[in-house]
Amino acid sequence: MIDFSFTEEHTATADLMRDFCAKEVIPGIRERDRTHEFDPDLLGKLADAGFFGVTLPAQYGGAGQDYVSLGLLCEEAEYADTSTRVIFSVHVGLVMLPILTWGSDDLKDRYLPKLCSGERIGAFGLTEPNAGSDVVGMQSTADADGDVYVLNGEKMWISLADVANTFLMVAWTDREKMKARDHSGLSAFIVDREMGGVTTGSIKGKLGVRAGNTGWISMSDVRVPKENLIGNPGDGFKIGMFCLEQGRFTVAAGATGLVKACLDASVQYSQSRHTFKRPIGDHQLVKEMIARMSAQYEAARLLWLRAAWLKNTGRANTRETSMAKWIACEHAEHAAAEAVQVHGAYGFSDEYPVERFYRNSKGSSIYEGTREIQKLLQADYALGIRVDKKRSRRLPTAEELAAN
């Protein structure tokens, strides 16, 4: 049975993030967005507030909360600015949860407490200059050499690339399977910047998420201990898809927060702006736009909450998470466009935040699996072409998170 009510813990978690963003994010976001400047101090502040460990068991320094709490954090973070939510998608969704699920006890003990405390910041290396959705088109390799793997390759469009010191990388460990485009030849590793041979740089000129750090990673003969392999050799594709699924969940929840931000901004503006001696909120076509945003917010929230419930109970949720990501991000794009329209000429200026919302909304329909990829997934499920197989690993349930 699905319970649609929030616990006191859920409400308190959302309130904490809302208050945090009001103090640490919103006051300076317009200027950081203008200058394309990432605030590195934000990482430490988020860690000190305990947000990074929300879904980690207490044994690793976490709070042992459930996936609804994680979704609410992402909603509130993106309500303030997408760049803040991206930190959770990457550090928690793409790095910490995969290590928790796929890592050996040694990897979990070595990395999770430091990732939780913010001593280490994670980034995820899957996308390459010529390989995005076509994962098996990647060219990064990891060759065994005694007790290490030697990694070489390039990664592109990597969030937190310049500020991370721990990277979850996917590379080919079987060159014959690489030639055959057989994804069972991919493996996953934890790579530390201190291992040497890792170079990163920032990407400038982005349409949106300008206050976030996005960059590239170059690996040149990086010697990674074999104990830093995640899962088994050949598990890289499965781990990569698992990472993306967790990322999609956080993106869906975040996009829902963006819809709410567009709605609230439009309501406030339509009540204060007057034309023809009336608040513009009295005009029917403005009402129509606000009504649609309200419905889009409710629909998007229900979709990610369903995915969270499935995660909490240990059930498969690839289909539901994909649906939530697709629809929430599409709603965010539409709501942002209409929010600009409600604001008229002022919506075309960064004097109001809806201009930033509009630019930020586009990225979510591309990263963590494009809108088109999500549509193909949903069609294949509906047609019976795709059927989920029993998995060798799953996320800890909410009960397991709280117990450890």
pLDDT digits (tens, 9 = 90+) for 101-156: 999 999 999 999 999 999 999 999 999 999 988 999 999 999 999 999 999 999 99
Q: How far apart are CA 212 and CA 163, in angstroms?
A: 11
User: What is the three-state SS of 332-385?
Assistant: HHHHHHHHHHHHHHHHHCCCCCHHHHHHHHHHCCCCCCCHHHHHHHHHHHHHCC
Residue 239 pLDDT exceeds 80: yes
Does 158 lie in the same domain as 39?
no
Domain's final residue, options 221, 237, 253: 237
Task: Answer yes or no: do 369 and 354 share one domain.
Answer: yes
Q: Are residues 46 and 140 in the same domain?
A: no
For residues 167 and 95, state if they share a domain: no
Q: Are residues 92 and 200 in the same domain?
A: no
Asked whether the whole model's pTM tops 0.95, one would answer: yes
Query: How many domains does the chain divide into?
Result: 3
Reported residue count of the chain is 404
Task: Kindly state whether residues 170 and 198 are assigned to the same domain.
Answer: yes
Mean of pLDDT values over 19-28: 98
For 316-371, the pLDDT digits (tens) are: 999 999 999 999 999 999 999 999 999 999 999 999 999 999 999 999 999 999 99
70: domain CATH number is 1.10.540.10
- CA–CA dist 65, 54 (Å, integer): 6
The tokens describing 298, both together, are 């409710």
Q: Rounded to the nearest 10 degrees, how much is the dihedral formed by the CA atoms of 83, 253, 217, 185?
A: 180
Q: Are residues 306 and 173 in the same domain?
A: no
- Would the pLDDT of 257 be above 90? yes
Q: Which of 179-183, 227-231, 392-396 has the lowest mean pLDDT?
A: 392-396
- Residue 107 and residue 156 share a domain: no
Residue the block writes with tokens 């990664």: 155
Residue environment code for 52-64, b if the CB has 16+ CB neighbours within 10 A, otherwise e? bbbbbbeebbbbb
Which one, of 212, 216, 215, 209, lies nearest residue 38 by Cα?
A: 212
Specify if 93 maps to a domain: yes
How many helices, marked H, and strands, marked E, lie in the chain? 14, 10
144 within domain boundaries: yes
- Strands, E assignment, 254-294: 274-275, 278-279
My answer on whether 266 and 159 are in the same domain is no
Catalytic residue among 24, 154, 330, 368: 368
Question: Using one digit for the tens of pLDDT, what is the confidence trace for 150-191?
Answer: 999 999 999 999 999 999 999 999 999 999 999 999 999 999
Q: Of 191, 216, 237, which marks where a domain is finished?
A: 237
| Same domain assignment for residues 140 and 150 | yes
User: CATH number for the domain including 267?
Assistant: 1.20.140.10
Q: Does residue 383 share a domain with residue 256?
A: yes
Rounded CA gap, 38 and 381, in Å? 39
Containing domain of residue 91, as a range?
8-121
Q: How many CB atoms lie within 10 A of CB 227?
A: 12
| Rounded alpha-carbon distances, angstroms, from residue 155 to 120, 123, 368 | 20, 11, 15
Query: Kindly report the CA angle at 21 between 215 and 299, in degrees rounded to 5?
Result: 85
Does residue 65 belong to any structural domain of this protein?
A: yes
Q: Are residues 139 and 108 in the same domain?
A: no
Please check the confidence at residue 2 and state whether its pLDDT lies above 70. Answer: no
Establish whether 368 is a catalytic residue: yes
Structural domain contains residue 14: yes
Q: Is residue 151 one of the residues assigned to a domain?
A: yes
Which of 214, 237, 260 is the last residue in one of the domains? 237
- CATH code of the domain in which 138 resides: 2.40.110.10
Q: Most distant CA pair in the chain: distance in Å?
A: 79
Whether 2 maps to a domain, the answer reads no
